[in-house]
Amino acid sequence: MKKALKIAGYILLALLLLIVVGALYINISGIPKYPVNLPEFRASMTPDAIDRGEKLASLLCAGCHLDHKSGRLIGKHMVDVPAEFGTIYSKNITADPEFGIGGWTDAEILYLLRTGIKRDGYYAPPYMAKLPKMADQDIDAIISFLRSGRPMVKADKTPDQEPIPSFLSKLLCRVVFKPFPMPTEAIPMPDSLDVLALGQYLAHNLDCYSCHSADFKTNDYLNPEKSAGYFGGGNKPLNEKGREVLTANLTPDPETGIGNWTEEQFIRAVKYGIKGNNEPALQYPMLPHTQLSDHEVGAIYQYLRTIPPIKNKVERSLNL
């Protein structure tokens, strides 16, 4: 009996030691590194692509990279990343070759946006956006814009501040969050005359579902419809004061979702952030999407009417 206890004690000790060594290893080795297999790619730089890219970047990149004082994408301290993930700064992605991404090739930027792997092989943790499903033409547009010299991306010499990921971030990047595969086939734009296809494409690639489903952790970024509570709301992004804001249910459930909304009401809420008698509909981190056309927002609305309704009453957190 005594011997058995002793053996059990040793096993426990060995296990503890293994956990401590494992934790130390993760903490010291940090964010994991992956091979970089760059595709052949040059951004098209056509005027149409640059215009489209500016619109997409102002919706998808500015929220995290824009410094409001300079109006440029020079990075900032991200107060809306939960403290458990560490102290996180986004980066200078203007055209400056030394301080921005002017020294990156088009292919390196493409590889990062698709897979989440930076040019030095390090994985960009979940607090940096990835675009695994975006049409090739739209990704080309974003990269063309980053290269365009337009005011938001004009070369700027603001140095980066290195993010300080917490142990939890490092652990999650080892076990939960993995890079996305580089697409092996072309991803075409949706047919803009097929309203439902366009609406689904925008609802997925403008990140609507990622905030408006149950939780970032249970989102399925490669098959968005399989995300838990798809568009049923209740996810809790943080506002700029670092407080949780519950996202709205956008499924067609008439009581708890937007089943009773008209297309006009939806367009007004999404584009201008107002509903009813000039009541506010949106708050940070969802800003008015004035860049989108009525046709685009209308298409998202039409698509949302076709998805399964979810009964989930979400308390509004406006005016926190």
What's the closest the beta carbon of residue 18 comes to ligand HEC, in angstroms? 28
The residue count for binding ligand HEC (CB under 6 A) is 47
The footprint of ligand HEC on residues 287-306 (CB under 6 A) is 289, 300
Longest Cα pair distance anywhere in the chain, in angstroms?
Answer: 81
Going from the C-alpha of 105 to that of each of 44, 95, 109, 147, 193, the distances in angstroms are 13, 11, 7, 10, 34
- Choose the stretch contacting ligand HEC; rule: CB under 6 A; options: 19-27, 54-62, 168-176, 178-186: 54-62
310 binds ligand HEC (CB under 6 A): no
Q: If we measure between CA atoms, which residue out of 96, 131, 98, 97 comes closest to residue 114?
A: 131
Report helix, strand and coil shares of the chain as percent, to nearest 5: 40, 5, 55
Distance between CA atoms of 300 and 127, rounded to whole angstroms? 25
Candidates 43, 49, 64, 153; binder of ligand HEC (CB under 6 A) is 64
Query: What's the closest the beta carbon of residue 240 comes to ligand HEC, in angstroms?
Result: 11
Helix (H, G, I), strand (E, B) or coil at 244: strand
Cβ 46 to ligand HEC, closest distance in Å? 18
Q: Is 157 in the site for ligand HEC (CB under 6 A)?
A: no
Interacting positions 95-114 with ligand HEC (CB under 6 A): 101, 109, 112-113
> Cβ contacts of residue 33 below 8 Å, gap of 6+?
120, 121, 122, 123
Distance CA 206, CA 194 (A): 18
The answer to whether 65 contacts ligand HEC (rule: CB under 6 A) is: yes
HSE-up of residue 292 (Cα within 13 Å, Cβ side) = 26
Cα 121 from chain centroid?
A: 20
Distance, CA of 17 to CA of 14 (rounded, Å): 5
CB 60 to ligand HEC: min, Å:
4
How many whole angstroms separate alpha carbon 184 and alpha carbon 156? 35
Q: Could you say which of 50, 152, 173, 245 contacts ligand HEC (CB under 6 A)?
A: 245
What is the three-class DSSP state of 77?
A: strand
What does the per-residue mask of binding to ligand HEC show for 160-199, with x meaning CB under 6 A? ---x------------------------------------
Provide, rounded to whole angstroms, the least separation between the CB of residue 81 and ligand HEC. Answer: 7
The stretch among 16-24, 46-54, 122-130, 190-198 that binds ligand HEC (CB under 6 A) is: 122-130
Q: Least distance from C-beta 179 to ligand HEC, angstroms?
A: 13
AA identity, residue 39: P
Cis peptide before 285 (omega within 30 of 0): yes
- Token digits for 296? 């685009």
Shortest Å distance, C-beta 319 to ligand HEC? 8
Residues 195-214 that bind ligand HEC (CB under 6 A): 206-208, 211-212
In the list 43, 49, 50, 61, the residue contacting ligand HEC (rule: CB under 6 A) is 61
* Token pair for 208: 């609507």
Q: Which residue has the tokens 């999650």?
A: 172
Number of residues that make up the chain: 320
By the criterion CB under 6 A, which residues form the site for ligand HEC? 57, 60-61, 63-65, 78, 88, 90-91, 93, 101, 109, 112-113, 118, 124-125, 127-129, 142, 163, 206-208, 211-212, 237, 245, 247-248, 250, 266, 269-270, 275, 281-283, 285-286, 289, 300, 316-318
